Structure 1
Amino acid sequence: MSADAKPEDVAVPEATWKARLKQVGPGVMAAATGVGAGDLVATMVAGSRYGYALFWAVVLGAVFKLALGEAVGRWHLASHRTMLQGWRTLGRWATTYFGIYIVIWGFIYGATAMSASALPLNALFPVLPVSGWGIVCGLLGLALVWFGRYRLLEKLMTVLVGIMFVTVVGTAILVGPNLPALGAGLVPSLPDGSVAYVLGLMGGVGGTITMAAYGYWTFAKGWRSPKWLPFMRTDNAVGYITTAIFVAAMLVVGAGMLRGANLTAGDTGLLQLGDALATDYGQWARIPFLVGFFAVAFTSVIGVWNGVSLLFADWWRTWRMPKSAPPETAADYDHAAGEKSPAYRFYLLWLTFPPMLLLFLGKPFQITIVYGVLGALFMPFLAGTLLWLLNSKTMMPAEHRSRWVSNTALGLCLLLFVGVAANELIDVLG
């Protein structure tokens, strides 16, 4: 798009289903980035303890994430503003909160993502310890994102998602789902002691700061006006339906293969599943699963290293603006410049090198707990601010403001995420 062109001037193809599916990309990036190895383990543990009884929470959680992703995308395309430009209009408190949060979160998450990616590599190739493979994964992610651009990263993520789909869903098919029990699990129920798992399945899987990066990826794709809204909604739906299938597959594995097993919390639970597959079916089942485990973890490395670095770069640019500066629009945001900015590259380095110190602590479970708390503290902020911004008469055109369906979904998301945050804090304090 030229410097003088307006977003509405860019040619938009007719919104046929074929054209929409050809444009799919940012939603897959966001969904794959948000679902990490720890999320799949949490789902597997829920299946091992409660069977298929919590399947309804998986479905409802996917609906909530779909609503939240649509809200982020609609804000960017209909208001012509980035997420940070929207938060700036709320006052200095919003950008201050986000700035403090993203710095702390990046330090903890860097270690979490590198450790999760390292575990399957260590199991496949024990020539390096987990900390060594973690450093390799961090450096590889840094190189890919530092020198690569959105189009390359989208293609790579699509390949990794394909591997995830074949291995994770293939494992569920190998185990064999109990379809009548799965259907019965659509009826809401709360077995004894299951409340924390319900909150985790609905609010935790696929829900992190990376959801806020979705709009930046839509801009990178070239979507810059409300005319792209049908494409964005299809893209978002494909991403979170895929996520729901992943999560449902792990619930099936937990219920069908590991019922009653004493699973280890944290990412190492997937290693236990790999060992169980080797025992029951042979190494031919274990090795592909570990490859899929790596794909699940490494998509989060690539997505966060790119998407959250874009958020930080936009935050730094917005933070430095004087209070008297007029509100910006999407025309003021240059995605290519953001990927080359010193702030973007600083955050890439921040995600990679300082967290390597945590890899040598040998306490990945404690790091995972801290990460879970930090993630829970962001989601209420995102849902609450979107609820306000998408109903703004000064920033959102009337035809694109939230209606009762979106407002209800976002309101329920806000309540859910507050509940998840309270549960995480109670667990830590307890």
Structure 2
Amino acid sequence: MAQQQQEQHKPRWRLIGPGIVAAATGVGSGDMVASLVAGERFGYTLLWAVVVGCLVKIALAEATGRWHLASGQTIFDGWRGMGLWTFVFFGPYIVLWGFVYGATAMSATALPLQALFPSVPLWVFAVLAGISGLGFVWFNRYPVLERVMTVLIGVLFVTVVGLAVYLVPDIGSMAAGLVPTTPPDSLFYSLGLIGGVGGTITMAAYGFWCNAKGWRDAGWIRMMRLDNRVAYITTGVFVVAMLIVGAELLNSAQIALAEGDEGLIQLGEVLQERFGTFVSVLFLIGFFAAAYSSLLGVWHGVSLMFADFVGNIRGRADRPVEERESSWEFRAFLLWLTFPSMLLLLFDKPIQLVIAYGVLGSAFMPFLAFTLMWLLNTRRTPQEWRNGVVSNVGLAVAGGLFLVLCGNEIWSRLTAA
């Protein structure tokens, strides 16, 4: 019987799933824009930053999943044991993050739809995106989410990676870009590219998706590691594909993009001029798949985290994932992500809110890295699954990198104000 259980837990490709959800959620329009602009401004010079970014996120996600499986606890159980200060930080962060991100996700999903159907106002598509995401997550559970996310990431692969191959990348320049260099004015851009490959708060959601898959103990750690590597290699392929598009299509023609998601709409126009309507429409469909998969992943994963956060406060931390998915806390955060955020679609975001959001958001990743490093080096984790040298180095590098980015974000916000 024990042998059968061990056999069942061996890594199998057909069991991959939480990593696909994490990849689909993490590769949003922001990652696409950042890598596209990197290619437009610096060609293939910053390709190394994409690779490092994937390695950093593999280390973080592996640590999150390993904590959930080895300890049998969630990340909030671990944080609670570290002291009240962790909840004091996370409570305001997740509420504010959800309020601002909800509007951002809805707008990003609406942009390619409006480009395809310009007679419909942007806010209409944004509201429809939010409400459809709410309805989907409200009435479905993780297995359905995983299947839908697999389809969306397949669409993204065909459109974005297909476009990169169609442009015939310069292999020699790509190989040279793997050597770490920082052209003038590219240092913090390079660090931002490393930090932005594949998610922020959704990194902490990965452990919850592993549990939702049915992986509940240390016997699944080998499977989780395979799943996690596939996730961030996939993420890296998408980001490299966008960098190729920026380098081959924009850098060579000296075309500068607008900031933000509007840059992807502008890219669609460039594609239409050069290759025709069919290629442009395919790209916009890929843009939509990236944005909408991020919306669905956040609507599910972060709501699950909020349900566990509140459950810890209320002394109900031992609920199974299936119970959390139907809890009032889960659905309350779903509503919070959707309807209050719609107010930001009608008005410019207040500068104070944007500053607070930027500072808290940049502080979360070093918080996650260093708390995981603490939890996975103490008696809270069984000896067999505690950090080794490689894991400690990976988390230390990740934490230090994000701490630098956090300091830069705070400084830039204060000087801009």
TM-score normalised by L of structure 2: 0.95
Residue 130 of structure 1 aligns with which residue? 122
Q: Unpaired runs of 5+ in structure 1?
A: 1-7, 323-327
Give the one of 191, 196, 199 matched to 1:199.
191
Residue 297 of structure 1 aligns with which residue? 291
Could you tell me which amino acid in structure 2 is paired with residue 253 of structure 1? Answer: V
Q: State whether residues 200 and 420 of structure 1, in contact with CA within 8 Å, keep that contact through their aligned partners in structure 2.
A: yes
Residue 241 of structure 2 aligns with which residue? 249
Q: Does 1:272 align with 2:272?
A: no
Deviation of the 1:427 alpha carbon: 2.3
Could you tell me which amino acid in structure 2 is paired with residue 405 of structure 1? Answer: V
RMSD across aligned positions (CA): 2.0
Q: State whether residues 61 and 203 of structure 1, in contact with CA within 8 Å, keep that contact through their aligned partners in structure 2.
A: yes
The number of residue pairs the alignment matches comes to: 412
Give the one of 366, 379, 382 matched to 2:365.
379
Find the aligned partners of 1:364 and 1:290 in 2 and give their Cα distance.
30
Deviation of the 1:321 alpha carbon: 2.8
Residue 4 of structure 1 aligns with which residue? none
Deviation of the 1:362 alpha carbon: 5.4
Find the aligned partners of 1:192 and 1:237 in 2 and give their Cα distance.
33
Mapping for residues 172-183 of structure 1, pairs under 5 Å: 172-183=164-175
The percent identity for this pair of structures is 53
Q: Does 1:334 align with 2:329?
A: no
Mapping for residues 388-399 of structure 1, pairs under 5 Å: 388-393=374-379, 395-399=380-384
Q: Cα 1:297–1:9, aligned 2, differ >3 Å: closer, same or farther? A: farther
Residue 275 of structure 2 aligns with which residue? 281
Deviation of the 1:364 alpha carbon: 11
Q: State whether residues 37 and 257 of structure 2, in contact with CA within 8 Å, keep that contact through their aligned partners in structure 1.
A: yes
Q: Cα 1:10–1:34, aligned 2, differ >3 Å: closer, same or farther? A: farther
Residue 22 of structure 1 aligns with which residue? 14
Q: Cα 1:268–1:236, aligned 2, differ >3 Å: closer, same or farther? A: same
Deviations 1:340-370 (A, max 9, x none): 1111100000000000010112569999887
Find the aligned partners of 1:31 and 1:81 in 2 and give their Cα distance.
23
Find the aligned partners of 1:38 and 1:232 in 2 and give their Cα distance.
26
Find the aligned partners of 2:129 and 2:347 in 1 and give their Cα distance.
17
Q: State whether residues 160 and 295 of structure 1, in contact with CA within 8 Å, keep that contact through their aligned partners in structure 2.
A: yes
Could you tell me which amino acid in structure 2 is paired with residue 49 of structure 1? Answer: R
Residue 136 of structure 2 aligns with which residue? 144
Mapping for residues 290-369 of structure 1, pairs under 5 Å: 290-321=284-315, 332-361=318-347
SS at match of 2:401: helix
More deviation in 209-218 or 370-379?
Answer: 370-379
Find the aligned partners of 2:196 and 2:408 in 1 and give their Cα distance.
11
Could you tell me which amino acid in structure 2 is paired with residue 424 of structure 1? Answer: E
SS at match of 1:112: helix
Q: Does 1:238 align with 2:230?
A: yes
Give the one of 393, 405, 411 matched to 1:420.
405
Deviation of the 1:373 alpha carbon: 4.4
Find the aligned partners of 2:321 and 2:260 in 1 and give their Cα distance.
35
Q: State whether residues 197 and 236 of structure 2, in contact with CA within 8 Å, keep that contact through their aligned partners in structure 1.
A: no
Q: Does 1:211 align with 2:197?
A: no
Residue 3 of structure 1 aligns with which residue? none
Give the one of 98, 101, 106 matched to 1:109.
101
Q: Cα 1:367–1:256, aligned 2, differ >3 Å: closer, same or farther? A: farther
Q: State whether residues 35 and 296 of structure 1, in contact with CA within 8 Å, keep that contact through their aligned partners in structure 2.
A: yes
Q: State whether residues 120 and 271 of structure 1, in contact with CA within 8 Å, keep that contact through their aligned partners in structure 2.
A: yes
SS at match of 1:258: helix
Find the aligned partners of 1:344 and 1:206 in 2 and give their Cα distance.
24
Q: State whether residues 107 and 351 of structure 1, in contact with CA within 8 Å, keep that contact through their aligned partners in structure 2.
A: yes
Q: Cα 1:157–1:301, aligned 2, differ >3 Å: closer, same or farther? A: same
Q: Cα 1:10–1:79, aligned 2, differ >3 Å: closer, same or farther? A: farther
Q: State whether residues 313 and 344 of structure 1, in contact with CA within 8 Å, keep that contact through their aligned partners in structure 2.
A: yes
Q: State whether residues 93 and 361 of structure 2, in contact with CA within 8 Å, keep that contact through their aligned partners in structure 1.
A: no
Residue 178 of structure 2 aligns with which residue? 186
Find the aligned partners of 2:307 and 2:4 in 1 and give their Cα distance.
26
Deviations 1:99-145 (A, max 9, x none): 11100100000000000000000011123211111000000000000
Deviations 1:259-309 (A, max 9, x none): 132211111110011100000000010001000000000011100000000
Q: Cα 1:171–1:189, aligned 2, differ >3 Å: closer, same or farther? A: same
Could you tell me which amino acid in structure 1 is paired with residue 336 of structure 2? Answer: W
Residue 156 of structure 2 aligns with which residue? 164
Deviations 1:149-179 (A, max 9, x none): 0000000000000001111101111222110
Give the one of 400, 403, 407 matched to 2:388.
403
Find the aligned partners of 2:3 and 2:159 in 1 and give their Cα distance.
43
Residue 49 of structure 1 aligns with which residue? 41
Could you tell me which amino acid in structure 2 is paired with residue 290 of structure 1? Answer: L
Q: State whether residues 33 and 300 of structure 1, in contact with CA within 8 Å, keep that contact through their aligned partners in structure 2.
A: yes
Q: State whether residues 39 and 244 of structure 2, in contact with CA within 8 Å, keep that contact through their aligned partners in structure 1.
A: yes
Find the aligned partners of 1:242 and 1:366 in 2 and give their Cα distance.
36
Find the aligned partners of 1:389 and 1:205 in 2 and give their Cα distance.
24
Deviation of the 1:35 alpha carbon: 1.8
Residue 73 of structure 2 aligns with which residue? 81
Residue 5 of structure 1 aligns with which residue? none
Q: State whether residues 56 and 186 of structure 1, in contact with CA within 8 Å, keep that contact through their aligned partners in structure 2.
A: yes
Q: State whether residues 56 and 398 of structure 2, in contact with CA within 8 Å, keep that contact through their aligned partners in structure 1.
A: yes
Deviation of the 1:9 alpha carbon: 11
Q: State whether residues 122 and 128 of structure 1, in contact with CA within 8 Å, keep that contact through their aligned partners in structure 2.
A: yes
